[in-house]
Amino acid sequence: MIHLDTGFLICALSRNSPEDGKLRAWLKEAEPLGMSAISWAEFLCGPVEAADVELAGRILRDPVAFNSTDAALTARLFNLAGRRRGSLTDCMIAATAIRASAPLATTNRADFRRFEPAGLKLTA
């Protein structure tokens, strides 16, 4: 399974973008795709139209819930990353992907690279 982050999904919904190409390739290969409930909430708050939400919902189905294991890992990531203001959501998204052993497809590699030593794998 590959987890998508918010930015990747928004870009993937833009026809002919590099992310659109990647998403189409994964769908063609029947690669399981997921997204944390945290990323899904960010997506719903973003610059999206109802048709985008409907399409994304058909591709991703149920977002992966954030649980107490994720919360503990989030705290660890937050502390390892220097307790940076504004990074808590990224820590939550990374924790969910790490728990699922899923690489994270992101357009913000620089924001997530700091979690690789804790086990996060990045793709896209």
pLDDT tens profile 56-102: 999 998 999 999 999 999 999 999 988 877 789 999 999 999 999 99
What is the pLDDT averaged over residues 99-121?
Answer: 96
For the question of whether the overall pTM of this predicted structure is more than 0.85, the answer is: yes
pLDDT, residue 108, reads: 93
Residue 74 has a CB neighbour count (10 Å cut-off) of 22
Q: Which domain holds residue 1?
A: 1-116
Q: Judge whether 121 lies within some domain.
A: no
- For the cut 80, the answer to whether the pLDDT of residue 43 exceeds it is yes
Q: Which CATH number does the domain housing residue 57 bear?
A: 3.40.50.1010
Supply the mean pLDDT for the chain: 95
Q: Judge whether 9 lies within some domain.
A: yes
pLDDT, residue 69, reads: 97
Q: Judge whether 36 lies within some domain.
A: yes
Q: Please name the amino acid found at residue 122.
A: L
pLDDT, residue 116, reads: 96
- For the cut 80, the answer to whether the pLDDT of residue 124 exceeds it is no
Total domain count for the chain? 1
Q: Judge whether 61 lies within some domain.
A: yes
What is the pLDDT averaged over residues 38-55?
Answer: 95
Beta bridge partners of 25: none
SS3 84: coil
